[in-house]
Amino acid sequence: MQKIVIDTNVLVSGLIQQGYPYLIVNNLFIEQKISLCVSYELLAEYYEVLKRKKFSRYPDFLSKAESLLAQIETKSITYTPKFKLDIISDKDDNKLLELASESNANFLITGNTNDFTMKKYRRTSIVSPKDYWNSYKPKN
């Protein structure tokens, strides 16, 4: 089973609209066709961002976010990265590479092409939700 790290911006997009992030979260993660890798630091960010008031303008965002967070708590695998990195200019995003490295993730899925300019970090391919869905999603 593919090991995946999902950037917070992908979760937010998946809760707002029914595009590629929605398909990845609902058709692959919820159905357990991929293995979601998280760290305590990334989980904290998921909780902090998904509870922001600015998203309350979207219908049912908070209830959908709470449901998704409960699924993440029960269905993901938690890793504790042993090494701190300083590669990404947005320092906060280094935790995604740390997690990808520690978990030996196959993919890091992000919509943040400004900070994640590299295509690969160690064995982890860094891809957009669209690229992942069209080229790498599990076939079964």
Model pLDDT for residues 53-104, shown as the tens digit of each residue: 999 999 899 999 999 999 999 999 999 999 998 898 888 999 999 999 999 9
Give percent of the chain above pLDDT 70: 99
User: Rounded to 5 degrees, what angle do the CA atoms 116, 103, 31 make?
Assistant: 90
Buried b (16+ CB within 10 A) or exposed e, 1-22: eebbbbbbebbbbbbbeeebbb
Is the model's pLDDT at 8 over the cut of 80?
A: yes
> What is this structure's pTM?
0.95
What is the distance between the alpha carbons of residues 117 and 88, in angstroms, rounded to a whole number? 9
The answer for residues whose C-beta is within 8 angstroms of residue 23's C-beta and 6 or more apart is 133
Token pair for 85: 């990195």
Q: Which residues pair with 104 in a beta bridge?
A: none
What is the distance between the alpha carbons of residues 72 and 79, in angstroms, rounded to a whole number? 13
Question: So where are the chain's domains?
Answer: 3-136
Contact 76, 36 (CB under 8 A): yes
- CATH class of the 3-136 domain in this structure: alpha beta
Query: Which residue bears the tokens 């042993």?
Result: 82
